[in-house]
Amino acid sequence: MAQLREEVSLWRGLEQRARDAQELLELAEDDKALQEELAREVEQLEQELEQHELRLALSGPHDADDALLSIHAGAGGTESQDWAEMLLRMYLRWAEKHGYQTRILDMTEGEEAGIKSVTVEIKGDYAYGYLKGEHGVHRLVRISPFDAQKRRHTSFALVEVLPAIKDDIEVEINPDDLEIQVFRAGGPGGQHMQKNATAVRIVHKPTGIVVQCQNERSQRQNRETALRILRSKLYELERKKREEERARLKGEHVSAEWGNQIRSYVLHPYQLVKDHRTGVEVGNAQAVLDGELDPFIEAWLREQVAARVEETA
């Protein structure tokens, strides 16, 4: 209730300031100082309105929560695994720029280079709300550094984004449905291997969902973190089922998860990053790969607000 009151108060305050500015406009016709003051107020109002409009898109039940972001290399071996690692660096840079805390919970490295998969916890206000639109397939086009003939390659990686479900969210997990395995954590090299079996892998038998964690210090911590990831995945699975059922009743087409290509990153023969959902294009691909994702994130969020307004109109 307090949050809702604050939200209503904020919008009413903006509305009142807009009315005051409109009244000043009538008085400012021959007053240059008043005109300058009015121009500053209008500029300030526009900036605040833009910020608060964006926050309207962050009103989902878990938008304010932390995020669990996973990246999975697609088919293509080393090339796709290197692309997955590039995406990991991009999201870590983005999180750092926004003051979010990050922690790698699990990572499987590639044989030659890159990573096969990784799960990162991103902690901070509205981390999930801002990142949820990144869920989907990301496509890279470049001259492969692993090809002796310097040919152009296309690589794919799947990004999954889940809310870090808190313990007060009820997701029933029957212990009899779990197959829990322990193994020694570490990368492909012997120097990284631990002597004790602290890593934990959990298989949820009814759904086939597999989660694992190996970056905590103890088996107990890895188990708790893996269960938290599983809880988030089960929650998201149920949410998707409900969305698909609603879409089916409305006669909408529901696309396959892996086929949902959301963005292309072209590094050759020209530089361009294009979001296929919003049409936003950025010519400085290197800046995007260095974490400059806000133009894509904000455009997607604004489209969600516009879609909701259209639905309720």
Banded model confidence at residue 193, pLDDT cuts 50, 70, 90? very low
Residue 247 has pLDDT above 70, yes or no: no
Domain limits, the chain: 2-56, 67-169+256-312, 175-250
Decide: 268 and 147 in contact? Cβ < 8 Å.
no
Residue 177 has pLDDT above 90, yes or no: yes
Banded model confidence at residue 259, pLDDT cuts 50, 70, 90? low
Q: What is the pLDDT of residues 72-87, one digit of tens each?
A: 998 878 999 999 999 9
CATH of segment(s) 67-169+256-312: 3.30.70.1660
Of residues 52 and 191, more confidence is placed in 52
DSSP-assigned letters across all residues of the chain: -HHHHHHHHHHHHHHHHHHHHHHHHHH-TT-HHHHHHHHHHHHHHHHHHHHHHHHHTT-STTTTS-EEEEEEE-SSTHHHHHHHHHHHHHHHHHHHHTT-EEEEEEEEE-SSSSEEEEEEEEESTTHHHHHGGG-EEEEEEEE-TT-TT--EEEEEEEEEEEE---TTS-----GGGEEEEEE----SSGGG--SS--EEEEEETTTTEEEEE--SSSHHHHHHHHHHHHHHHHHHHHHHHHHHHHHHHHT-----STT-EEEEEE-SSS-EEEETTT--EES-HHHHHTT--HHHHHHHHHHHHHHHHHHH-
pTM tops 0.85, yes or no? no
Q: What is the pLDDT of residues 119-166, one digit of tens each?
A: 999 999 899 999 999 999 999 999 988 887 888 889 999 999 998 876
CATH of segment(s) 175-250: 3.30.160.20
